[in-house]
Amino acid sequence: MTTPTTDRHADGATPAPDGDVLLSVEGLVKHFPIKGGFLRRGRTAVQAVDGVDFSVRRGETFSIVGESGCGKSTTARLVTRLLEPTGGTVRFDGQDITHLSEGRMRPLRRDIQMIFQDPYSSLNPRHTVGKIVGAPFRLQGVEPEGGRKQAVQDLLELVGLSPEHYNRYPHEFSGGQRQRIGIARTLALKPRLIVADEPVSALDVSIQAQVVNLLEDLQEELGLTYVMIAHDLSVVRHVSDRVAVMYLGKIVEVADRDDLYDRPHHPYTVAMLSAVPVPDTGRRQNRERIRLQGDVPSPINPPPACRFHTRCWKAQEVCRTEEPPLVPLGGPSHLVACHFPENVTPATPVSTPTPTA
Amino acid sequence: MGESGSGKSVSSMAVMGLHTSRSARISGSIRLDGQELVGAKQDDVRRLRGQKMAMIFQDPLSAMHPFYTVGNQIIEAYRIHNQVSKKAARAHAIDMLDRVGIPEPRSRIDAYPHQFSGGMRQRAMIAMALSCDPSLLIADEPTTALDVTVQAQILDLIRDLQQEFDSAVVIITHDLGVVAELADDIVVMYAGRGIEQGSAEAIFNAPEHPYTWGLLGSMPRFDRPPTERLLPIKGTPPSLIRVPSGCAFNPRCEFSDRVRGDACTTERPELLPAGSGTGAHVGHGAACHLPTAERQQVWAQEISPRLA
Ligand SMILES: Nc1ncnc2c1ncn2[C@@H]1O[C@H](COP(=O)(O)OP(=O)(O)OP(=O)(O)O)[C@@H](O)[C@H]1O
Ligand SMILES: Nc1ncnc2c1ncn2[C@@H]1O[C@H](COP(=O)(O)OP(=O)(O)OP(=O)(O)O)[C@@H](O)[C@H]1O
Ligand code: SF4
Ligand code: SF4
Ligand SMILES: [Mg+2]
Ligand SMILES: [Mg+2]
């Protein structure tokens, strides 16, 4: 169904050859208008996502992290076209899908699937597991080889459930098993891209590991591409190839996993990583932790220029007046939006500002 | 620490005397500063609550009244236990808000809970809990709903206030990182019981219960190079209505076949002293039928290398 286009954008976030890119996003914007408009009537909006660029290569796991409310779920819902973008473009396999009608989107729904955080509310309690997992076949009018029941039972087996679970109801399953049911449904139409919004955070620690392993096995077996959203930075490091850090509706840093965790450039990334509690009793005393002051500003009225300047210990006048662009630093695949990045080799010409706070 | 439903909150609510005799039967013994709380008069326990012991919850909104200002709630809590004027109580509340890091406490004191962010509400609740200088603070998942940067602020705050007020802190969490950062001693719960306890060093570096091994293998380690695969515990946590007989962990345990006979399914293992190091206040103990020497050997030779 996809129309191959030669017109692929050479955006900075894509150092890989063009054909490798499955999903690309440019200048993505989503503003939620606020009803009633108590400040400037009619004109106010939550700037949930405000100019986001990234691209995801075939077969990789691309994760998005950042504070609560920074726009991760909104980005996920824009990319899967559950929300209508206010601006920007979303390309899937070269095809511009930004404003495709629901009808033209339908065939693509097979290729792009989403996994939700809550394994309880996303399954209809009155439907059997068989009906739930088989729903995509019905909705898309697909008749798999060997029949729907066989296909559903194969899927259940694929995610580590028993084919005998076919006639059972969701409440008979544990959280981890319900998440598996959701994943089985997601896989029914053999998607190519799975967008998973906090797929394990509602699960117990011992169960999280089961689902993480399952997602990794499926990726290998089926060649899936993942966009993963998670707030647990240890889980993100475990599963990701590349990681993007969002702050107040914008991406402030993108890099290969190890680059980001070993050499974070953006002060917010540095602070965030330094805050992760480490399960090592010996490290307690000698850890440097950056204490960020204050709270995340409101996305209704975000700070001008660099949105992090209200909490950044390196902020200078220029940070309040000029927005730092997301540009490569120290290599083509590590992008950061900051006037005074961290962890740069002394050779890099960056002025050493005096702290303001 | 322990999985969802293992009994962490129910235990701490028992300490605080928050179960009613209609909803729960409590047996055993809880002693606060030498005073027995199980069977004590409701009024006595209520007086101790707030004065000698206080609790903070995962969801601050559930502990705060939406229609009263943050300040009034702290003032109320303080005046129940202290005969002071409204003015003095207000000054105290401003001081408390200041100490937990609320900016401009003088003006913020008259805000309503919903006007605070999640992190600020958590701080305000801590201010309320600490307003009477309790000797015991129970924190039930105090940071689970918060971002890492805010979580770090709250953990630092609890640690600083603990030193300043010299209080004992019980922290309940399923986040092993949080445990390792804060705890001196740890109890690991499973299916309503403590199945291993000891100093933080013992639990992290020489654990002896198969469930504790499972927990450590289940989570990716932030402080080590990424491993190929996580090592999950098979199966799911049991329902507390039908707890498995014998050792409650037996349906999920990889090691039960190394125990002679059918003890794992017929006999509940007691929490007995375990071999390695002792904590400051509690000795190292584990509830498992495997002999201590064998557990130490399994940890050293089979488990520990897999986690590295
Ligand atoms: N339908 C909506 N109408 C108005 N505002 C919205 C809507 N959906 C999201 N928002 C706002 O947009 C911002 C981004 O929300 P989003 O859910 O994308 O955040 P998130 O990064 O997923 O956060 P979390 O980690 O808490 O899930 C928030 O300020 C949120 O309140
Ligand atoms: N008021 C109650 N009446 C009946 N059962 C209860 C009540 N409160 C808790 N339980 C049950 O007691 C068990 C222990 O619950 P508890 O809340 O202590 O778990 P927890 O370890 O705190 O879990 P979580 O990590 O999910 O908070 C659970 O099975 C729970 O369903
Ligand atoms: S641009 Fe300035 S304020 Fe923004 S993160 Fe960089 S140093 Fe901090
Ligand atoms: S008592 Fe048996 S089932 Fe329980 S943890 Fe020990 S070996 Fe495993
Ligand atoms: Mg979200
Ligand atoms: Mg609880």
Copy the structure tokens of residue B173.
Answer: 């969490």
Indicate yes or no: pTM above 0.95: no
Which residues in B lie closer than 8 A to residue A275 (C-beta atoms)?
Answer: 148-149, 151-152
pLDDT score of B117: 78
Mutate to test the pocket of ligand 2, among B6, B8, B10, B138 (most ligand atoms within 8 A of CB): B10
A-to-B residue pairs, Cβ atoms closer than 8 angstroms: 125
User: Which residue reads 């200002």 in tokens?
Assistant: B69
B3 vs A contacts (CB less than 8 Å): 204-206
Contacts 24+ apart (CB under 8 A), A214-221: A214/A159, A214/A160, A214/A180, A214/A183, A215/A183, A215/A239, A216/B229, A218/A158, A218/A159, A218/A183, A218/A187, A219/A59, A219/A61
- Walk along chain B (308 residues) in steps of 10 and give the mean pLDDT of each run: 88 90 90 93 88 85 86 90 92 90 87 84 87 90 82 86 89 88 93 94 94 92 83 86 94 94 96 68 87 94 89
Distance in Å, CA B219 to ligand 1 centroid: 28
Residue B237: DSSP 8-state: P
Give A235 to chain B, closest Cα distance, Å.
Answer: 6
Q: What is the ipTM of this complex?
A: 0.83
In this structure, what token pair is assigned to residue A148?
């729907």
- Evaluate: CB of A69 within 6 angstroms of ligand 1: yes
| B233 closest CB neighbour out of A206, A271, A292 | A206
The structure tokens listed for A333 are: 């695949």
Q: Measured in angstroms, how far is the CA atom of residue A267 from the centroid of ligand 3? A: 7
- What is the Å distance from ligand 2's center to B243 Cα? 14
Dihedral, CA of residue A47, residue B146, residue B180 and residue B33, to nearest 10: 160
State how far the Cα of A185 lies from the Cα of A133, in Å rounded to an integer: 4
Strand order in the sheet with A21-33: A45-57, A21-33, A87-92, A95-96
pLDDT greater than 70 at residue A4 = no
Provide the pLDDT confidence category of residue A43 given band limits of 50, 70 and 90: low
Look at residue B282 in the predicted model and tell me its pLDDT.
Answer: 61
Chain A CB contacts of B237 under 8 Å are 174, 204, 206
pLDDT at residue A12, as a whole number: 42
| Phi then psi dihedrals of residue A130, to 5 deg | -60, -45
pLDDT tens profile A250-304: 999 999 999 999 999 999 999 999 999 888 877 666 667 888 877 778 888 899 9
Place of tokens 């096995």: A217
Q: Look at residue B116 in the predicted model and tell me its pLDDT.
A: 84
> Rounded to an integer, what distance in angstroms lies between the CA atom of residue A191 and that of residue A94?
16
Is a pLDDT exceeding 80 seen at residue A7? Answer: no
Ligand 4 centre to CA of B264 (Å) is 6
For the stretch A135-146, what's the b/e string if a residue is b when 16 or more beta carbons lie within 10 angstroms of its beta carbon?
ebbeeeeeebee
Residues of chain A above pLDDT 70, percent: 87
Question: How would residue A41 be classed by pLDDT, with cut points 50, 70 and 90?
Answer: low
Nearest ligand 2 atom, CA B240:
29
Backbone φ and ψ for A81, nearest 5 degrees, come out as: 60, 30
Give the chain A residue nearest B6 (alpha carbons).
A204
Q: What is the pLDDT of residue A151?
A: 93
Question: Best of B143, B144, B149, B154 to disrupt the A interface by mutation (most A CBs within 10 Å)?
Answer: B149
Residue B32 per-residue DSSP state: E
CA of B271 from ligand 4 middle (Å) equals 12
Q: Across-strand partners of A254?
A: A244, A335
pLDDT of residue B123: 86
Does residue B23's CB lie within 6 angstroms of at least one atom of ligand 2? yes
Sheet with B185-190, strands from edge to edge, namely B185-190, B193-199, B285-286, B272-273
Residue B299 CA, ligand 4 centroid: distance in Å: 14
Q: Is the CB of B289 under 6 A from ligand 4?
A: yes
pLDDT at position A73 is 92
Mean pLDDT of chain A: 86
B288 lines ligand 4 (CB under 6 A): yes
CB-based contacts of B13, cutoff 8 Å, min separation 6 = B19
pLDDT in the model for residue A329: 95
Please give all residues whose CB falls under 5 A of ion ligand 5, grouped by chain where several chains appear. A 73
Residues B96 and B74: their CA atoms lie apart, in Å, by 9
Is residue A221 classed as helix, strand or coil in its secondary structure? helix
The answer to whether the beta carbons of residues B122 and B157 sit under 8 Å apart is: no
Which residues of chain A lie closer than 8 angstroms to B204, CB-CB?
A: 279-281
Name which residue leads in pLDDT, B162 or A225.
Answer: A225
CA A58 to centroid of chain Cα atoms: 15
Write b or e for each residue in A13-45: b if 16 or more Cβ atoms lie within 10 A of its Cβ, otherwise e.
bbbeeeeebbbbbbebbbbbeeeeeeeeeeebb
Q: What residues of A are in contact with residue B117 (Cβ under 8 Å)?
A: 295-296
> Closest residue of B to A210, CA-based?
B232
Q: Whose CA is nearest to atom 7 of ligand 2?
A: B10
Tell me which chain B residue has its CA closest to the CA of residue A293.
B153
Shortest distance between the Cα of A97 and any Cα of chain B, in A, equals 33
- pLDDT, one tens digit per residue, over A194-223 is 999 988 887 778 888 988 999 999 999 999
Amino acid at A218: L
pLDDT digits (tens, 9 = 90+) for A137-175: 998 888 888 999 999 999 998 888 888 889 999 888 877
Q: Distance (Å, rounded) from C-alpha B55 to C-alpha A203?
A: 25
pLDDT at B157: 85
Q: Which of B117, B222, B237 sits opposite A234 (nearest CB)?
A: B222
Which structure tokens are listed for B96? 């408390």
Q: Can you tell me the distance from the alpha carbon of A283 to that of A231, in angstroms, rounded to the nearest whole number?
A: 22
Q: What was the pLDDT predicted at A185?
A: 92
Residue A190: both structure tokens together: 């053999």
Measured between CB atoms, does A191 come within 8 Å of chain B?
no
Where do the domains of chain A lie, and which CATH numbers do they carry? 1-107+225-341 (3.40.50.300)
- Measured between beta carbons, the chain B residues lying within 8 angstroms of A207 are 232, 236
Domains of chain B: 8-182 (3.40.50.300), 193-307 (3.40.50.300)
Of the candidates B150, B201, B215, which has its C-beta nearest A205's C-beta?
B215
Query: Which of B153, B200, B220 lies closest to A235 in CB terms?
Result: B220
